[in-house]
Amino acid sequence: MFRRVLVANRGEIAQRIIRACRELGIETVAVYSEADADAIYLRQADETICIGPAQGGRSYLNIPAIISAAEIADVEAIVPGYGFLAENAHFAEVCQSCNIAFVGPDPETIEAVGNKANARAMAVRAGVPVVPGSDGPVESEAQALEVAKEIGYPVMIKASAGGGGRGIRIASNDPSLINGYHAAKSEAEVAFKDDTVYLEKFVENPRHVEIQILGDRDGKVIHLGERDCSVQRRRQKLIEEAPSPAITPEQRKRMGDAAVALARESNYHNAGTVEFILDPGGNFYFIEVNARIQVEHTVTELVTGVDLIQQQLLLASGERLELDQDDVRLKGHAVECRINAEDPDRDFQPSPGTIELFVPPGGPGVRVDSHCYSGYRIPPNYDSMIGKLLVSRPNRRQAIATMLRALDEFVIVGPRTTIPIHRRILTHSDFRAGEHDTGFVERYFSAPHPRITS
Ligand code: ADP
Ligand code: ADP
Ligand code: MG
């Protein structure tokens, strides 16, 4: 196992990684930007190094600065968390060439699955069902029209390099497809420096269900069940839960087997997620692989009892996966609400600034993963997550009751937060019945945001 690692991230996930390391007896070196100099988790790290000014590009995304810090601090590994450099194959390669372990999959795997059109092709090879769509990238208007004719409207135009809910458009006829095709390409070029796009059938009223996987260097791969992330706004997750209220044990097994098959096909080591959408008829289709730990890994931890960050560290250090598929038992029900400093009444505008008073909820069944405290100033430079509020209870009904109680208890004075919208979602009859799909939030709680290009 590693003796000393560098944490190449900030906020709640930096704190989460430091906690995991301390329990394993691993020393931590935390890097920070000038905007994060007062972060509380810096006090829990064994060493801290300032790597640059607030702008991400000059600090948390600055590869030379991070590698220099790693060399100076003499660490054996770098833990990237999510966002920033977590899915950057080049960074993983630089780590390798400097003899520093990257806590994630191999650069070749990140590269292969990071291109979403390529990941689709791998899924097909692994016998995993994919959404009907183009075979690989779409190279011209004419080809886009041809594919759309074959699969039928509405279709989705997706950036191969896309992520975070961005780089996606919907088209419902030929003219909107032509517009959308060009708009998506230029958007993707600006956002991801790669204008490759592909086409997928737009599945109506789907659920988002994803499988957590773990793989070791001997090729052993297991899955830890699913997370249901159907509560989304603009294709970004707001609430996640495990298990999914929408699938049967048989479907879980089939989706789990499919995720494992794809992981084998891509030579996957470490923790990862295979995302699917589930249509109202119960058919599931692969959409993408996230080659990193995800924000919502926590709900899986609560229902399986497995510490996923510790597993990442163990696997990256070359240890074998001790868990067998049969050891994975799902217990109870877990729900996570992402608490963001955003104003749900003003189209979720970011609401950074000082948190005057911060009193997190507690009591039976509650977990709060947050780096915030009273007096903490949320910098405007990064995403607006204040923290994740989680509950785990014997069943879904009880979990929702505990979550509502915990949301009521949560005191955050200063910035606007997403707490009120969570309360409204959790009391809605469709959510309570477990019958919501990915369109649920926009349908009931916000102004329509169709993103249809016409
Ligand atoms: P998930 O939420 O399923 O883990 P997302 O694709 O929504 O996956 O992204 C995970 C997190 O990574 C987001 O919450 C966001 O904070 C962060 N993130 C995504 N893209 C970037 C980026 N380009 N730069 C910095 N952070 C990012
Ligand atoms: P990202 O890389 O931005 O996370 P995804 O491909 O995972 O992009 O898609 C983001 C979200 O968009 C999904 O969680 C789902 O809600 C929706 N989505 C993706 N593909 C489809 C599809 N073919 N039909 C309907 N909805 C989809
Ligand atoms: Mg996704």
Q: What is the pLDDT of residue 452?
A: 45
Residue 33 pLDDT greater than 80, yes or no: yes
Cα of 140 to ligand 2 centre, how many Å?
22
Contact 266, 109 (CB under 8 A): yes
55 pLDDT exceeds 50? Answer: yes
* Inter-axis angle of helices 89-97 and 107-114, nearest 10: 170
Region 148-160: mean pLDDT is 97
Ligand 2 close to Cβ of residue 170 (< 6 A): no
Q: From ligand 3's centre to the CA of 147, what distance in Å?
A: 23
Phi, psi of 59 (to 5 degrees): -135, -85
Closest ligand 2 atom number to CA of residue 237: 14
User: What pLDDT, on a 0 to 100 scale, did the predictor assign at position 447?
Assistant: 60
What pLDDT is stored for residue 446 in this prediction? Answer: 74
Kindly report the CA angle at 291 between 51 and 25, in degrees rounded to 5? 60
CA of 118 to the centre of ligand 3 (A): 15
Average pLDDT score, the chain: 96
Burial of 162 (0-12, 13-18, 19+ CB in 10 A): buried
- CATH 3.30.1490.20 in the chain: give the residue spans: 132-201
pLDDT band at 454 (very low <50, low <70, confident <90, very high): very low
User: For residue 451, what pLDDT is reported?
Assistant: 46
CB-ligand 1 contact for 384 (6 Å cutoff): no
Q: Is 3.30.1490.20 the CATH number for 132-201? A: yes
**Ligand 2 contact via 235 beta carbon (within 6 Å):** yes
pLDDT one-digit tens code per residue, 266-308: 999 999 999 999 999 999 999 999 999 999 999 999 999 999 9
Q: Mean pLDDT throughout 176-198?
A: 95
Q: Per-residue pLDDT for 216 more than 60?
A: yes
3-class SS of residue 368: strand
Three-state DSSP state, 430: helix
- CB proximity list for 436: less than 8 A, separation 6 or greater: 207, 230, 231, 428, 430
Per-residue model confidence as pLDDT tens digits over 395-436: 999 999 999 999 999 999 999 999 999 999 999 999 999 999
For the Cβ of 206 lying below 6 angstroms from any atom of ligand 2, the answer is: yes
Kindly tell me if the per-residue pLDDT of 196 is higher than 90: yes
Ligand 2 nearest-atom number relative to CA 203: 24
Mean pLDDT of 316-336: 98
Mean pLDDT of 430-444: 97
How far is residue 217's CA from residue 204's CA, in Å, rounded to a whole number?
A: 39
Quick one: which atom of ligand 2 is closest to the CA of 208?
Answer: 14
Q: Which residues contact 96 (CB under 8 A, 6 or more apart)?
A: 102, 107
- Asked if residue 182 lies in contact with residue 133, where contact means CB atoms within 8 angstroms, the answer is no
pLDDT band at 165 (very low <50, low <70, confident <90, very high): confident
**Stretch 66-90: mean pLDDT:** 98
Mean pLDDT for the stretch of residues 80-85: 98
What DSSP state is assigned to residue 452?
B
Multiple choice CATH, 4-103, 3.30.300.20, 3.40.50.20, 3.30.360.10, 3.30.465.10? 3.40.50.20
- Asked if 7 and 51 count as a contact pair (C-beta separation under 8 A), the reply is no
Give yes or no for residue 84 CB within 6 A of ligand 1.
yes
pLDDT above 60: residue 170: yes
User: Looking at the annotation, which residues are catalytic?
Assistant: 292
Distance CA 121, CA 119 (A): 5
Q: Ligand 2 mean position to 231 CA, how many Å?
A: 12
| pLDDT at residue number 343 | 95
- Which of 383, 385, 388, 438 has most ligand 1 atoms within 8 Å of CB, for mutation? 383
Tell me the C-alpha to C-alpha distance, in Å, between residue 319 and each of 96, 200, 335. Answer: 17, 39, 31
Fold for 207-445, please state it: D-amino Acid Aminotransferase; Chain A, domain 1 (3.30.470)
Residue 193 C-alpha from the chain's centroid = 21
Residues carrying CATH 3.40.50.20, the chain: 4-103
pLDDT at 376: 97
Confidence of residue 450 (pLDDT cuts 50, 70, 90): very low
| Pocket of ligand 1 contains residue 212 by CB under 6 Å | no
> Which residues 6+ apart lie within 8 Å of 190 measured at CB?
none
